[in-house]
Structures are given as C-alpha cells and as structure tokens.
Amino acid sequence: MTDLINYDVFEKPQWRDFYQAASVPLTQASLKQVQAFNDRISLQDVQDVYIPLIHLLSLKIKDFDRWQDVKSDFLHKKPRHVPFIIGIAGSVAVGKSTTARLLEVLMNHFFPTQRVELVTTDGFLYSTAELKKRGILDRKGFPESYDMKTLIAFLNKVKAGVSDITVPVYSHKVYDIIPDQVQHIIKPDILIVEGINTLQLPSTEQVYVSDFTDFSIYVDAKPELIEKWFLERFDALLKLALQDPDNYYYEYATGNHEDAIKAAKQTWSSIDLPNLQEFILPTRNRADLIIHKGPHHIIDQILMRKY
Ligand SMILES: Nc1ncnc2c1ncn2[C@@H]1O[C@H](COP(=O)(O)OP(=O)(O)OP(=O)(O)O)[C@@H](O)[C@H]1O
Ligand SMILES: CC(C)(CO)[C@@H](O)C(=O)NCCC(=O)O
C-alpha cells in the first residue's frame, strides 16, 4: 500500500485509548435504526472506534468554526455560521450508509444543539431514463452516471447558507430516482454526504466535491469481503421484495434463487468491482481518515492522514 505513506496506522486498541471519556449512549435495540438491512453493528466497535472519532470530529469542528471567524474578521465581514461537511466514500456495499447513519445518530446524541443532516450522492445519479438516453445504463455508479454539476451546486448552496434546499431521492428498491419526491435540507450545522464519488475528481467539472468537505472518511475492506456483503444485501433485498410486485427485485425474488445469485455475482464482477478498482480505490489516499473493516464488518485498523 505505497499510496498510504502519508498515513499513521492505528490498531483498534491504540485508537480506542486515545479517547474513552464518553460511553456509548445506545442500546443494541436502538442501534437497529441505523442498520441498513440484515447485519449487526458491533456495540464494541461503536465504543472503541466511533466514540474517539466523534470526539476528534468535535475538535475539528471547533477549529473550523474558529477559522471561519478569523477569516470573516480579516475580510471585515460579519461572521456567519458556515456548515461543516463530512464526506464518506468507499465501494458499493462496503457500509457507507450504515457508517453515515451511525455518525448521524451519535452526533445527534453528543452535539444536541447542532442540526445534523445526511444526504447520499445516489440522489444525484441520472434517472434510468436519462442513463438510457446517454447509452450508459450499464455504467450506473461510474463517474459519468452522476450529475456532478448539480451535486456541486447543491454543496455550494449548503455552504452559502441557503435555507431550504431540495435533493432528488434515489431508491435501491425501485432501482431509480423516485420522481416527484425530494429531500429537504434545512440549514444544517453539520452535513454528512455519503457516496462512492465523494473523493472523486469529476472529468466534467473544475470544482470537486472534496472542495466542500471539511473532513473525509473512506470505508475500506478487501474486495472479496465486500462482494460477500454485496451478495448478503442482495439476498436481504430479495426477501423484502417477495411481497411487493413493484419492487425492482421482485422477478429475482420469485424466480430461481440460484439464477438470481448468479445475476448478482455478474453485476458485482462486471460493474461494481471494476468501478471500485478503477475509480473508487484510487481516491482512498485523499481521505482524512480510513476505517478498515475485516470479517463481519468488525473494524481492525484506523488510518489517519499525517499532513
Ligand atoms: N458496521 C456494520 N455492521 C454490520 N453490518 C453492516 C455494517 N455496515 C454495513 N453493514 C451491512 O453491509 C451491507 C452494505 O451496507 P450499506 O448498505 O451501508 O453499504 P453502502 O456502502 O452504503 O452501499 P451502496 O453504495 O450500495 O449504497 C448491508 O447489508 C449492511 O447491513
Ligand atoms: C446506486 C449505486 C451506484 C451506489 O449506491 C449502486 O448501489 C448500484 O446500483 N450500482 C449498479 C450496479 C448494481 O446493481 O449494483
């Protein structure tokens, strides 16, 4: 991993000892709300990894707020509260949205006066109709399948303090952007932006998503493990789809199970794995922090950018 020379590597026990002054406020039952589908979040990992991380983020946010004030002062401007944006990157199915939801729950608990919002860049995917029109239906998730201009304009509005911003909504169940549905982002103090492309350099734009993020996290694991998680999630999606003919996975759910798994493996090896290798993994060394997971999603290492 020569691309990671600029990182300090911490094994979990060492990272845990950096800060343990607070304890996990959640029971296993209430953690369920942050679980994407079928698996279990480890409460021990929340205590050992996320509690120090939340503390680190609180220090970073204080530092950020102070710098905004110093800057306003220098520019003879009235100070304005600028939202802090956290980016979360990583492969399809590595657990970005689960990590993002966990951070949201913990920040809501530990920073009760801060308004925390969460968006996924999947909302900025082109719709299936638009992907078809562009002839890139089999490239969903690749850089060209996202409307990066609109995503960057959105982040710019958040930073500028626009009061009510609407974001399109993507559904895994429908496998498309849902027409006539939007998410409202209302003056967050902290915005978490989760998506495979949060550290990417879009070929079509001169401005990057990372120009707007103040702290970035890459969720990392071996591709063989991620494939396993992808297939497990696929299976969970099939179960959900069984009762719902409108669900994208309904045909798979009601058809031959082996064929369905074969199709999912094919999607992984022809779309999501190449996307990881060509476009997502190369962005890892731009993250401020890398969370590395092993079997069962258990975190084994935390890498922090030195400079
Ligand atoms: N910390 C965790 N502990 C246990 N299970 C997890 C954890 N993180 C993710 N999972 C499981 O792994 C699968 C993928 O997670 P998730 O949906 O969060 O991934 P993602 O990176 O957001 O994927 P996508 O890019 O496709 O939206 C899900 O089945 C989820 O339940
Ligand atoms: C929506 C994305 C791109 C990212 O979350 C991904 O989950 C996806 O749908 N990729 C396309 C191939 C697949 O079905 O996995």
Instruction: Please give the residue range of the domain that contains residue 289.
Output: 2-76+86-305
- Ligand in closest contact with the CA of 279: 2
Beta carbon of 96 within 6 Å of any ligand 1 atom: yes
Beta carbon of 41 within 6 Å of any ligand 1 atom: yes
- Residue 117 within any structural domain of the chain: yes
- Residue 20 within any structural domain of the chain: yes
Give me the pLDDT at residue 20, please: 82
- Residue 284 within any structural domain of the chain: yes
- Residue 140 within any structural domain of the chain: yes
**24-41 residue pLDDT tens:** 766 665 666 555 434 578
**247-268 residue pLDDT tens:** 999 999 999 999 999 999 999 9
Q: For residue 17, give the CATH number of its domain.
A: 3.40.50.300
Give me the pLDDT at residue 26, please: 65
Tokens of residue 275, six digits: 């996307």
Q: Flag whether 95 is marked binding.
A: yes
- Residue 215 within any structural domain of the chain: yes
- Residue 64 within any structural domain of the chain: yes
Distances (CA, A) of 233 to 24, 145, 227: 27, 22, 10
- Residue 165 within any structural domain of the chain: yes
Dist. CA 260–CA 243, nearest whole Å = 17
pTM of the model: 0.95
Dist. CA 114–CA 107, nearest whole Å = 8
Beta carbon of 297 within 6 Å of any ligand 1 atom: yes
Task: Please give the tally of structural domains in the chain.
Answer: 1
- Residue 81 within any structural domain of the chain: no
Share of the chain above pLDDT 90, in %: 80
Give me the pLDDT at residue 41, please: 82
ipTM computed for the complex:
0.97
**58-117 residue pLDDT tens:** 999 999 999 999 999 999 999 999 999 999 999 999 999 999 999 998 898 889 899 999
